[in-house]
Amino acid sequence: MRASDLILKKRRGGELTREEINFLVSGYVSGSIPDYQMAAFAMAVYFRGMTGRETLDLTLAMKGSGDTVSLHQIPGIKVDKHSTGGVGDTTTLIIAPLVAAAGVPVAKMTGRGLGHTGGTLDKLETIPGFNTNLSVAKMIRAVREHGVAVVGQTGNLVPADKKLYALRDVTATVDSLPLIASSIMSKKLAAGADALVLDVKTGDGAFLKDLEEAFELARTMVEIGTGAGRETVAVITGMDQPLGKAIGNALEVEEAILTLQGKGPADLEELCLVLGGYMLHLARKVSGPEEGREKLKQILAGGAGLQKFKELILSQQGDPKVVDDLSLLPRAKVRVPVKAAAGGYVHAIKAEAIGRAAVWLGAGRETKESAVDPAAGIILSRKVGGRVSRGEVLAVMHTSAPPGTPELEAAGRMIREAFAIKSEPAEKAPLILGYVDRCGWKRY
């Protein structure tokens, strides 16, 4: 087999066999196929697409390129959750303890933030002492004892994706449906859960801005999960604004705690209940996602989710007192309001711009090596549907940059421009747009 023949075959719209796909992936990881051939192949896939069978085979080849985690020492059905690149998406911090409190084991492997999206690890590490660096054996022990663990990716999981994603990033081949689906699903399959709930974002700030494309991505990922023997459900959710009010690491931990106390923003709470409801359903704890949602609502109201979050913090060497005393979290010294230049109703808040502004303030990484300021971020004072007068506060910037610096000015401008304010009243942005499972799909 020769890589150049396979590139040509795909360029002409042909369907590659499993052996051909395995040859490309293993050759790329071992170094016998160079970057320039893989880049040409990725571009051919971008234009020609892949069949469902090819996409599944690509996913399985990538999954098999490194270590895989086995969770079979944890009794019960293990359900994982994944969100495709949200801004201010605090859901994992809330869903993991909530679902664990309902008796479903949660063994969560998660990543750091890159670009305009935040990472769960960076958020958890703002809790004094919290250790995300657990071996797989320790993670499994923690889940057996406490029902929940949230850890950084360990071992050599899916090296094919690390290499291919970096290549796609610089060759204009990130936004290819089969390449996104296989990238996400290979990592989820390698992490070992029995079933999966996917939160596929659409709108500004998401990888795929278009609703049709989001459904197509959801269908592709559900097909891969099902084909790989893991029950998979996808929920399509809107990103016409950041989720909740907080964007930034410690600010989002605070928001998660408030939500577990029943005092969180409505959209964030609702999304957690819906996604968690599907997780309970896939874990066979309830007879349907709606019943799962109701069960979690009761658990939330009774405070068991908050109690489980404390237990999770304690089991990973963090200081559980933060739950009762939010001032133990890192706090920004500088707080600068961003005010509305004109009055009206908020129709949209561009999530990607808000995410980029948060990076300017120090909350995110420009490159993999940059350090994050745990206290930096943004608190939105207004959400879509809200009314604002000229000069009123739209958002508050939290940073350690002294007032008046160019970064702060730039972030303030970005935030102001991210708000679409018009004179006519705005409807609240719909949050749940549809779902896809192995039997079909539904649009709300």
Q: Which residues ranging from 67 to 96 are in contact with ligand URA (CB under 6 A)?
A: 84-85
Give the nearer residue to ligand URA in terms of CB position, either 59 or 126. 59
Please state, in angstroms and rounded to a whole number, the distance separating the CA atoms of residues 54 and 217. 15
382 has catalytic annotation: no
Q: How far is CA 322 from CA 89, 117, 238, 256, 411, in A?
A: 20, 24, 31, 12, 29
The string of DSSP codes covering 340-364 is: -SS-EEEEEE-HHHHHHHHHHTTSS
Q: How far apart are the first and last CA of the chain?
A: 47
Give the nearer residue to ligand URA in terms of CB position, either 49 or 386. 49
Please state, in angstroms and rounded to a whole number, the distance separating the CA atoms of residues 206 and 199. 11
Query: Contact with Ca ion (CB under 5 A): which of 246, 346, 397, 436?
Result: 246
Please report which helix (H) or strand (E) contains residue 197, including its range: strand 195-202
Give the nearer residue to ligand URA in terms of CB position, either 174 or 228. 174
183 has catalytic annotation: yes
Distance of alpha carbon 214 from its chain centroid, rounded? 15
User: Is the Cβ–Cβ distance between 421 and 350 less than 8 Å?
Assistant: no
Please state, in angstroms and rounded to a whole number, the distance separating the CA atoms of residues 18 and 146. 41
162 has catalytic annotation: no
List the structure tokens of 2: 């020769």
- Residue 207 near ligand URA by CB under 6 A: yes
Residue 441 near which of Ca ion, ligand URA, none (CB within 5-8 Å, type-dependent): none
Query: Of 200, 194, 160, 163, whose CA–CA distance to 181 is shortest?
Result: 200
Question: Residue count at the site for Ca ion (CB under 5 A)?
Answer: 5
Give the nearer residue to ligand URA in terms of CB position, either 121 or 306. 121
Residue nearest to ligand URA (CB): 183
- Residue 360 near ligand URA by CB under 6 A: no
Please state, in angstroms and rounded to a whole number, the distance separating the CA atoms of residues 371 and 255. 22
CB of 258 vs Ca ion, minimal distance in Å? 10
CB of 424 vs ligand URA, minimal distance in Å? 36
Catalytic residue among 10, 63, 78, 82: 82
Catalytic residue among 80, 161, 199, 373: 161
Give the nearer residue to Ca ion in terms of CB position, either 150 or 160. 150
User: Is the Cβ–Cβ distance between 101 and 304 less than 8 Å?
Assistant: yes
Q: Which residues contact 257 (CB under 8 A, 6 or more apart)?
A: 306, 309, 322, 323, 326
Side-chain half-sphere of 53: how many Cα atoms within 13 Å? 7
Q: Between 284 and 323, how does the x/- string for binding to Ca ion read (CB under 5 A)?
A: ----------------------------------------
Distance of alpha carbon 315 from its chain centroid, rounded? 24
Query: Contact with Ca ion (CB under 5 A): which of 85, 86, 88, 113?
Result: 88
CB of 257 vs ligand URA, minimal distance in Å? 27
CB of 54 vs ligand URA, minimal distance in Å? 16
Catalytic residue among 65, 176, 183, 186: 183
DSSP H helices, 12-158, are 18-30, 35-48, 52-63, 91-101, 120-124, 136-146
CB of 377 vs Ca ion, minimal distance in Å? 9
CB of 349 vs Ca ion, minimal distance in Å? 12
168 has catalytic annotation: yes
Catalytic residue among 187, 293, 350, 398: 187
Residue 244 near which of Ca ion, ligand URA, none (CB within 5-8 Å, type-dependent): Ca ion
Give the nearer residue to ligand URA in terms of CB position, either 153 or 307. 153
Mapping DSSP to helix (H, G, I), strand (E, B) and coil, where does residue 441 land?
strand
Structure-token match 């006519």, residue found: 424
Query: Contact with Ca ion (CB under 5 A): which of 86, 97, 147, 244?
Result: 244
CB of 52 vs Ca ion, minimal distance in Å? 35
Residue 90 near which of ligand URA, Ca ion, none (CB within 5-8 Å, type-dependent): Ca ion
Q: How far is CA 2 from CA 9, 27, 43, 102, 249, in A?
A: 11, 10, 17, 52, 47
**What is the side-by-side order of every strand in the sheet holding 246-247?**
246-247, 377-380, 393-399, 334-339
281 has catalytic annotation: no
Which sign does the torsion angle of CA 159, 161, 164, 170 carry? negative
Give the nearer residue to ligand URA in terms of CB position, either 63 or 281. 63
Residue 313 near which of ligand URA, Ca ion, none (CB within 5-8 Å, type-dependent): none
Residue 361 near which of Ca ion, ligand URA, none (CB within 5-8 Å, type-dependent): none
Give the nearer residue to ligand URA in terms of CB position, either 177 or 282. 177
Q: Which residues ranging from 145 to 204 are in contact with ligand URA (CB under 6 A)?
A: 165, 174, 179-180, 183-184
Residues that bind ligand URA (CB under 6 A): 84-85, 165, 174, 179-180, 183-184, 207
Residues that bind Ca ion (CB under 5 A): 88, 90, 243-244, 246
Cite the active site residues: 82, 161, 168, 183, 187
